[in-house]
Amino acid sequence: MDFEELLKQLEMEKAKALSQGGAEKVQLQHDRGRLTARERIDKLLDSDSFLELGLLAHSDWPGMEKKTPADGLIVGFGKINGRRVAVSANDFTVVASTNAKINLRKLLQFKTQVTKFGIPYIHLGEAGGARVPDCQGADGIFELGGGGTDTLKAEYVHFREHPYIFAAMGECYGVADFQACVADFVVQVKGSAIAVSGPRALKRAIGESFTGEEMGGWEIHSRITGMTDKVAEDEEHSLEIIKNYLSYMPNNNKELPPIRPVPEGSEERMAKILDFLPKRSKRAYDMHKIIECIVDGGEYFELKPDFGSMLITCLARINGQVVGINASNPIVNVGATNTDALEKSTSFLCLCDSYNIPLIFLADTPGHFTGKEAELKRVGSRVVNQIQALFQVTVPKITINIRKNYGQAMVNMCSLGSGHDFLVAWPTAELGFMDPAIAADVIYGSLTEEEKQKNVEKMMADTSPYPAAGSYWIQDIINPYDTRKYIISVLDIVRDSQNQGMSKHLLANWPKKF
């Protein structure tokens, strides 16, 4: 046995595999304005930190062995800023990274291993769906299922035991689409598409012609379906977004999120907090400005900003600790929540509770959108779904009533019998069953305007937070300038408690998408 010849053969085989689909396919990928899968991994991970598994795998279809390096799927472990992560990437230069038996075997075994290790997992998606003829016929389809009774569990089930991030870098059809649906967080590059079926297959199957972008482009998923959490301008931007999101996440659900140093000047921002709240309660304002005053460095990481935008859901840090903020945004439809916002809130509650992130509710909403259109979108079930999730949240829940908080929305905003741990109000808060002006019109509609206005003023007085504080329905009325200080005090209490704010993870398998 000639060791030197064996080593040369090994080096040659690996070099072939590393060349991906060949120079022409790589150039075609670049001509589309896209990086290759290996280039994406190199830019995402720390230099020389990637350990690949399955480099020499290939299709078992006769004659395809040399045409399918790594069988179109790259998997392995690396580091991001010194932190261990797992990465898989569809290699579109190899038969469009279509899904077949060996390809899927790699994915299933790798995902099972990652869950066992309990580290963050990132999938860089760009794939064309199932591979034909490999998957055709009875034997083909059953082999694609892995051959066992529950062998596809790792593909479709994610119990939020560790963070799972999906990046749509190009066309993501079939399995790639399903991975996006399973992931905790989805970032989509402009020009990419996420859909169950690609345009070519769709046209042949049902005779309809749509582009990938028309079916599942970034505008569809960031504004209409809510599947996409963040939109990236380009691939490098998406990799920066992944790193930023990961900085808020623990390695797994048995850890608390990482604590970071507090940027200089974070306290000083609180001096301007009332500059952004109008003196007239009927005037709209942007809650983002209030959040910027409260959080460290004025920085936060917003999820689904263009979906149900009358509600803000964001990750941030206060005194270095990661928090999740669920806040009304009165500048959009006066903060009245629609079904999209309710779904968005439910999804956010599940995320924060699963990864031990305390929740802060900033309430300023007149209630929920109602009417025929809302009923057609099943508003009642969305309201109740969110409340059922809220009752199963076991991370600390801190509620601050900023201004309006009426009726059923008080329950959904964790202000009325829905499991708050800490509940306070600003002196500007208005609490009650409905807007006093509307209530007065319902009750006193037949009176003169002058008489009606007197009753409105009386009802306004009744919605003051002081009666609620006097009866200890709320724990305190705080000076708005002390909001950050109050939250820090509460978070310190939580950290000093027996479980330090760790969740029981009751929402770990709540559906990821709706």
Residue found by looking up tokens 């002196």 in the block: 427
- Reduced 3-state DSSP string for 345-400: HHHHHHHHHHCCCCEEEEEEECCECCCHHHHHCCHHHHHHHHHHHHHHCCCCEEEE
CA 282/CA 404 separation, integer angstroms: 9
Alpha carbon distance 88, 118 (integer Å): 15
Fold matches, 3-247 and 268-429+464-495: yes
pLDDT for the residue 130: 78
Assess whether pLDDT exceeds 60 at residue 161: yes
pLDDT given for residue 213 in this prediction = 85
Q: How far, in Å, CA of 487 to CA of 294, rounded?
A: 9
pLDDT tops 80 at residue 145: no
Q: What is the pLDDT of residue 400?
A: 98
Q: Write b or e for each residue in 326-360: b if 16 or more Cβ atoms lie within 10 A of its Cβ, otherwise e.
A: bbbbbbbbbbbbbbbbbbbbbbbbbbbbbbbbbbb
Look at residue 449 and tell me whether its pLDDT is greater than 60: yes
pLDDT of residue 164 exceeding 60, the answer is yes
Rounded Cα gap, residues 149 and 27, in angstroms: 42
Q: Is 156 helix (H, G, I), strand (E, B) or coil?
A: helix
Q: What is the pLDDT of residue 175?
A: 87
Q: Do residues 389 and 350 make contact, with C-beta atoms less than 8 angstroms apart?
A: yes
Residue 433 has pLDDT above 80, yes or no: no
Q: How does residue 142 score in pLDDT terms, banded at 50, 70 and 90? A: confident
Q: Does pLDDT of 440 surpass 50? A: no
Give which of 307, 269, 308, 306 is closest to 289, Cα–Cα: 269
Question: What's the fold here for domain 268-429+464-495?
Answer: 2-enoyl-CoA Hydratase; Chain A, domain 1 (3.90.226)
With beta carbons less than 8 A apart as the criterion, state whether 514 and 396 touch: no
Q: Which residue has the tokens 């797994």?
A: 252
Q: What is the pLDDT of residues 294-311, one digit of tens each?
A: 999 999 999 999 999 999
- Residues 177/90, Cβ–Cβ less than 8 Å: no
Nearest Cα residue to 251 out of 88, 82, 109, 90 = 82
Instruction: Inform me whether the pLDDT recorded for 467 exceeds 90.
Output: yes
Q: What is the pLDDT of residue 203?
A: 54
For 511, the token pair is: 């559906």
pLDDT at residue 292 in the model: 98
CATH topology of domain 3-247: 2-enoyl-CoA Hydratase; Chain A, domain 1 (3.90.226)
Distance CA 83, CA 90 (A): 22
List pLDDT tens digits, range 363-414: 999 988 788 888 887 888 999 999 999 999 999 999 999 999 998 899 999 9
Q: How confident is the model at residue 444 (pLDDT cuts 50, 70, 90)?
A: very low
Strands 311-318 and 230-232: unpaired
Which two tokens mark 416? 């009325």
Cβ 134 vs Cβ 72: under 8 Å: no
Encode pLDDT of 189-223 as tens digits. Answer: 999 999 987 776 655 555 566 788 888 999 999 99
Say whether pLDDT at 478 is over 80.
Answer: yes
Residue count of the chain: 514
pLDDT mean across residues, the chain: 91
Q: What is the DSSP letter of 474?
A: S
Ranking 201-215, 231-245, 260-274, 322-336 by mean pLDDT, the lowest is 201-215
Residues contacting residue 408 through CB under 8 Å, at least 6 positions apart: 367, 368, 383
CA angle 422, 423, 428 (to 5 degrees): 145
Cis link prior to 133 (omega < 30° from 0)?
yes
Q: Which of these, 340, 475, 321, 331, lies nearest to 403 by C-alpha position?
A: 331
Domain ranges of the chain: 3-247, 268-429+464-495, 434-463
| pLDDT in the model for residue 124 | 98
- Determine contact, residues 104/134, Cβ cutoff 8 Å: no
**Residue 454 · residue 448 · CB < 8 Å:** no
- SS3 of 313, please? strand
Three-state SS at 505: coil
- Cβ-contact 183, 177 below 8 angstroms: no
d(CA 408, CA 380): 11
Residue 51 has pLDDT above 70, yes or no: yes
With b meaning 16 or more CB within 10 Å and e meaning fewer, what string describes 188-218?
bbbbbbbbebbbebbeeeeeeeeebbebbbb
- Residue 163 reports pLDDT greater than 70: yes
